[in-house]
Amino acid sequence: MSALTFARALLQAYRTAPQRTAVYLLRTGETDLAISYERLVHGATGVAALLRAHSVQPDQVVVIILQHGEPLVQAFWGAVLHGAIPSILPPLTEKLLPERYRKDLAALIRVTQPAAIVTYGAFADEVRVAIAAAASDARCLVLDEPLFAAPDEDALGGLRRDPGDIVLLQHSSGTTGLQKGVALSHRAVFNQLGAYAPTLGLDTSDVIVSWLPLYHDMGLIAAFVMPILRRVPLVLMSPFDWVRAPARLMHAITRYHGTLCWLPNFAYTFCATRIRDRDLEGVDLSSLKAVINCSEPIYQSSHEAFVRRFEPYGFRREMLSASYAMAENTFAVTQTRIGQPPAFNPKGGVGIAGQVSSGHPLPNVSLRVLDEQRRDLPEGQIGEIAIKSDCMLSEYYHRPDATAQAFHEGYYLTGDLGYVLNGEVFVSGRKKDLIIVGGKNIYPQDLEQLASEVPGVHPGRVAAFGVFNEALGTEDVVVVAESDLEASAREALAEAVRAHLTRNSDVAVRTVKIVPPRWLIKTSSGKVARSANREKFLRELES
């Protein structure tokens, strides 16, 4: 439907409002940097020239591994202006072993086949090792400082891209291992923005404030692509700065009169419990239109804690909002009505008591709830959510097998379990035992494999699952592993398992329980039954 492309929309903003601020970049220990559309386009043009100089062709993938800062912003839009396909990946953190990260990066390079990886100087050697391990001819390009150049439209391959062409890849936020690259077209993204922006009542008087990482769909689409292409000012801070000092988000909202902010459910509880009174001096949240809960199951207890904590600072209950989203649909699938607190399920019966509605489907989204035989279920019954829209992925990039398996009768099978009440969607969990912590997808089998690597643990006799922590507003990760060791040695083994998991994934495991042989429950086919073992663990905990 839309004839727009990213490059044309960005350059139109540059031509008509060059001095309008696109992004206010918040930086620790430095003054905030206001990036106008002129500065943004000139910086992106500099990166496009860098890609062109290294023979990167339009329609080739450019992987971006950069820390928070102006080069990250420039690199994404520079790839767009060049006509390449940007894909932002998380940088290495202290929680991951470089060897594990390098192995996973090499696997991704083999499948995605990028022409270049843009990174920062201190990480360039790691990237080169991963490129060599993948036997790839990808270029490693270092971008530590901004590059600026005036745009020459004849040289910008992005202006010759078509709406149906792939514009970006979003890689899912898994634990370890190869993640599927969600390929989105220009048309799909603009169709999403065309449906979602009016649902939010979004216009150029709004101000979006975000700490969300750009390698996650919520951060990339809702709090980066959408504001820049819709000419809505964006206030962008580092996720690491937010974790260290969450009150900075409240001060940014105050300083810039923020109107919209997206948060995963755990962040409501985190802000309510971690921010001290003395850190809120001068905070005024009355400019907010909505704080939108998204990316993991939503709980009323988290909303109530947030309201109680921030009401004295101008936050009002009607500012609560919720959305159900996924990269495969570009972003939003549903959205609650702005200005009205979301409905919630107070008693359970179906779903989980205290679970909050994610709202109605967007006008361009068709949603079904299916049983195990993929038959439609009536309202009020839990099943797998399936969706169809005009803003869906083109494919899992270079993964035709995964793409074919993901659809049924034209509907994308989300793997999420949920139900519909009064036309509103409630998301209650993941079909395949997925654990969600802080908006991050954690695959139990990854943790089970890692735990099995520890000497003393029976390989294959491990169960990982999530247990909801109401105080934190997200799930705790529990790992139960069998061992022949005596009871006196189990505590040390538990610590060894925890240390191995921490070093080899970016998951914080709350509980590691070492149990004797034959403790774990298995299915008739010999597989570890995660849900049954979760119930056994909880029973023993209560006894």
Q: What pLDDT, in 10s, does the model give residues 443-462?
A: 787 788 789 889 999 877 89
E-strand ranges in 274-330 read 290-293, 320-325
Is the model's pLDDT at 176 over the cut of 50? Answer: no
The pLDDT of 285-293, averaged and rounded, is 98
438: left (phi over 0), alpha (psi -120 to 50) or beta: left
CA 64 to CA 72: how far, in whole Å?
A: 8
Stretch among 78-92, 281-295, 468-482 having the lowest mean pLDDT = 468-482
List all residues 6 or more positions away from 286 whose beta carbon is below 8 Å from its beta carbon.
Answer: 314, 315, 316
CB distance 322 to 342 below 8 Å: yes
pLDDT of 460 reads 77
Of the candidates 405, 253, 232, 412, the one whose C-alpha atom is nearest the C-alpha of residue 325 is 412
Q: How confident is the model at residue 175 (pLDDT cuts 50, 70, 90)?
A: very low
Helix 444-452, helix 487-504: angle, nearest 10 = 120
CA distances for 81 relative to 160, 170, 212, angstroms: 10, 18, 24
251: left (phi over 0), alpha (psi -120 to 50) or beta: alpha
Is the model's pLDDT at 525 over the cut of 60? Answer: no
- Tell me the two tokens of residue 338: 């702005």
The pLDDT of 418-434, averaged and rounded, is 85
Is the model's pLDDT at 438 over the cut of 80? Answer: no
CA 533 to CA 151: how far, in whole Å?
A: 60
- Tell me the two tokens of residue 289: 């239109």
The pLDDT of 158-177, averaged and rounded, is 82
Stretch among 50-59, 72-81, 354-363 having the lowest mean pLDDT = 354-363
CB distance 188 to 225 below 8 Å: no
Domain ranges across the chain: 6-345, 443-542
Q: Which residue has the higher pLDDT, 24 or 175?
A: 24
Stretch among 80-84, 117-121, 237-241, 380-384 having the lowest mean pLDDT = 380-384
Q: What pLDDT, in 10s, does the model give residues 183-218?
A: 999 999 999 999 999 999 999 999 999 999 999 999
pLDDT of 350 reads 45
Pick from 28-32, 293-297, 520-524 the range whose average pLDDT is largest: 28-32
pLDDT of 351 reads 47
Q: How confident is the model at residue 286 (pLDDT cuts 50, 70, 90)?
A: very high
- Tell me the two tokens of residue 242: 């937010």
CATH of domain 443-542: 3.30.300.30
Q: Which residue has the higher pLDDT, 543 or 174?
A: 543
Q: What pLDDT, in 10s, does the model give residues 351-390?
A: 455 689 999 999 999 999 999 899 999 998 888 999 999 9
List all residues 6 or more positions away from 419 whose beta carbon is below 8 Å from its beta carbon.
Answer: 350, 351, 369, 377, 379, 380, 381, 382, 383, 425, 426, 428
CA 418 to CA 381: how far, in whole Å?
A: 8
Please check whether the domain covering 6-345 is classified as CATH 3.40.50.12780. yes
- The model carries a pTM of 0.84
Residue with tokens 């704080």: 291
- Residue 142, classed as helix, strand or coil, is strand
| HSE of 276, CA atoms in CB hemisphere, 13 A | 4
Q: Which residue has the higher pLDDT, 69 or 354?
A: 69
CA 223 to CA 217: how far, in whole Å?
A: 9
Buried b (16+ CB within 10 A) or exposed e, 12-46: ebbeeeeeebbbbbbeeeeeebebbbbbbbbbbbb
List all residues 6 or more positions away from 342 whose beta carbon is below 8 Å from its beta carbon.
Answer: 293, 298, 303, 320, 321, 322, 336, 356, 357, 358, 359
Residues in the chain: 543
CA 343 to CA 421: how far, in whole Å?
A: 10
Q: What pLDDT, in 10s, does the model give residues 497-523?
A: 999 998 888 788 999 999 999 899 875
Of the candidates 136, 168, 153, the one whose C-alpha atom is nearest the C-alpha of residue 59 is 168
| HSE of 415, CA atoms in CB hemisphere, 13 A | 12
Domains 6-345 and 443-542 share a fold: no
pLDDT of 507 reads 85
CA 83 to CA 36: how far, in whole Å?
A: 22
How many CB atoms neighbour CB 410 within 10 A?
Answer: 9
